[in-house]
């Protein structure tokens, strides 16, 4: 691994950091240490990095804002790629084009400031454009798939292609990219609608107020833990079992919203994982419902 890192540093492909605590790059603020983080300066650099890692058979992954992930406490014996430098975006009429590393909250506010509607649901989602497309991020009964028209993608064969919305297998918190891990989102294009800036700002402020009132934003978390089953809410099921406020180690099933697990007191990743499993097993035992995890578990094998 040292030789690979040395080679990456010599390639002029962007910043390379070694022995990086994952707690600094995930919204849970937990996780072990990654051997290296690489920040490609452009798409050509990304391709060079991936070709080298494939040639040397080095474990690697692309990480967005870490807002929907739970890394284990173990060392990540590989390379984590961050697309933070792919952060350009522009508007053309009602069209928005944004690179994968763009901050989703920033982009949604930029759309509002341009009197465009279609992304205001995302004003409180702390992710990247790439991550949002990957998981079909959504809130308030809206999601990315409703306004996204196409994405620029890097294939496992290092080709840059364009994929249309109807090719992306969108469904509730799911996309083509979840089952085709070698494909990487580079850029997304959205077709928005003209709206009234003042009304959109009021809507964004109202939703911010609702989030503050209903979600435990004062503690590190990764948002909703489980997808909602048909015709009910995961948080409601967990709360009915009396698990609201249940703690293990430094983690808690939030006393404010039972579908959130929070890092309340220097939790370990294993504390959070225990509560995920406990809540899921309890709901299965009591209701016969298999809750589907909305978050990604990484490096637990």
- Backbone angles phi and psi of 47, in degrees to 5: -65, -40
Residues 72 and 139 in one domain: no
DSSP for 225-293 reads SBPPPTTS-HHHHHHHTT-TT-EETTEEE-SS-TT-EEE-SS--HHHHHHHHHHHHHHHHHHH---PPB
So what's the pLDDT on residue 130?
97
- At 291 the pLDDT is 98
Whether residue 63 sits in one domain with residue 38: yes
Range 123-142 average pLDDT: 91
Asked if residue 26 and residue 72 are part of one domain, the reply reads yes
Told to judge if 270 belongs to the known catalytic residues of this protein, a careful annotator would answer no
User: What percentage of the chain has pLDDT greater than the value 90?
Assistant: 90
Q: Which two tokens stand for residue 90?
A: 């522009």
Q: What is the pLDDT of residue 8?
A: 95
Token digits of residue 173: 């918190």
Task: Put residue 31 in one of left, alpha, beta given phi > 0 → left and psi -120 to 50 → alpha.
Answer: left
Average pLDDT on 289-294 reads: 96
Asked if residue 212 belongs to a domain, the reply is no
Mean pLDDT, the chain, as a whole number? 96
> Do 89 and 107 meet the contact criterion of CB atoms below 8 Å apart?
yes
Query: Dihedral angle at the C-alpha atoms of 192, 231, 68, 55, nearest 10 degrees?
Result: -90
* Catalytic residue from among 145, 221, 224, 234: 224
Write down the pTM of the prediction: 0.92
Is residue 66 located within the same domain as residue 105?
no
CATH of the domain at 291: 3.90.78.10
Indicate whether 273 and 173 sit together in one domain. no
Give the CA count within 13 Å in the CB-facing half-sphere of 35.
Answer: 16
Query: Does residue 204 lie within any of the structural domains?
Result: no
Shared domain check, 62 and 36: yes
Which of the residues 147, 150, 173, 175 is marked catalytic?
173
Supply the pLDDT for residue 261: 98
Tokens of 280: 């899921």
pLDDT per residue as tens digits for the range 248-273: 999 999 999 999 999 999 999 999 99
Asked if the structure places residue 206 within a domain, the reply is no
Domain that holds residue 226: 217-298
Does residue 124 share a domain with residue 45? no
Does the pLDDT of residue 232 top 90, yes or no?
yes
The count of domains in the chain is 3
Does the annotation count 224 as an active-site position? yes
Q: What are 135-177's pLDDT values in tens digits?
A: 999 888 889 999 999 999 999 999 999 999 999 999 999 999 9
pLDDT tier for residue 61 given thresholds of 50, 70 and 90 = very high
108-120 pLDDT, tens per residue?
999 999 999 999 9
In the prediction, which pLDDT does 139 show? 84
In this structure, the answer to whether residues 32 and 111 fall within a common structural domain is no
Instruction: For residue 131, give the CATH number of its domain.
Output: 3.30.465.10
Considering the domain architecture, whether residues 93 and 78 belong to the same structural domain is answered as no
- 181/105 same-domain check: yes
pLDDT tens per residue across span 30-43: 999 999 999 999 99
Give yes or no: 207 in active site: no
Tell me, yes or no, whether 211 lies in a domain: no
């Amino acid at each position: 691994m040292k030789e690979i890192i040395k080679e990456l540093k010599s390639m002029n492909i962007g910043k390379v950091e070694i022995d990086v605590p994952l707690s600094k790059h995930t919204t849970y603020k937990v996780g072990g240490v990654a051997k290296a983080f690489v920040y490609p300066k452009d798409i050509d650099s990304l391709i060079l990095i991936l070709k080298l890692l494939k040639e040397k058979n080095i474990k690697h992954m692309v990480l967005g804002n870490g807002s929907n992930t739970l890394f284990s406490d173990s060392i990540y014996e590989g390379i984590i790629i961050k697309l933070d430098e792919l952060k350009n975006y522009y508007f053309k009429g009602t069209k928005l084009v944004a690179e994968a590393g763009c901050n989703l909250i920033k982009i949604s506010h930029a759309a509002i400031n341009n009197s465009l509607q279609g992304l205001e649901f995302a004003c409180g989602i702390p992710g990247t454009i790439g991550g949002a497309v990957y998981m079909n991020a959504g809130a308030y009964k809206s999601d990315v798939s409703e306004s996204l028209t196409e994405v620029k993608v890097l294939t496992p064969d290092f080709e840059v292609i364009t994929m249309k919305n109807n090719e992306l297998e969108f469904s509730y918190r799911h996309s083509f990219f979840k089952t085709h891990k070698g494909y990487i989102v580079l850029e997304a294009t959205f077709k928005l609608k003209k709206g009234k800036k003042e009304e959109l700002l009021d809507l964004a402020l109202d939703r911010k107020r609702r989030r503050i009132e209903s979600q435990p934003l004062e503690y590190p978390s990764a948002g909703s833990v489980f997808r909602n089953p048909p015709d009910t809410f995961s948080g409601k099921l967990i709360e009915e079992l009396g698990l609201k406020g249940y703690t293990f180690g430094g983690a808690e099933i939030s006393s404010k919203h039972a579908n959130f697990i929070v890092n309340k007191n220097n939790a370990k990743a294993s504390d959070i994982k225990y509560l995920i499993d406990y809540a899921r097993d309890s709901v299965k035992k009591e209701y016969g419902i298999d809750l589907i995890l909305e978050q990604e578990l990484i490096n637990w094998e």
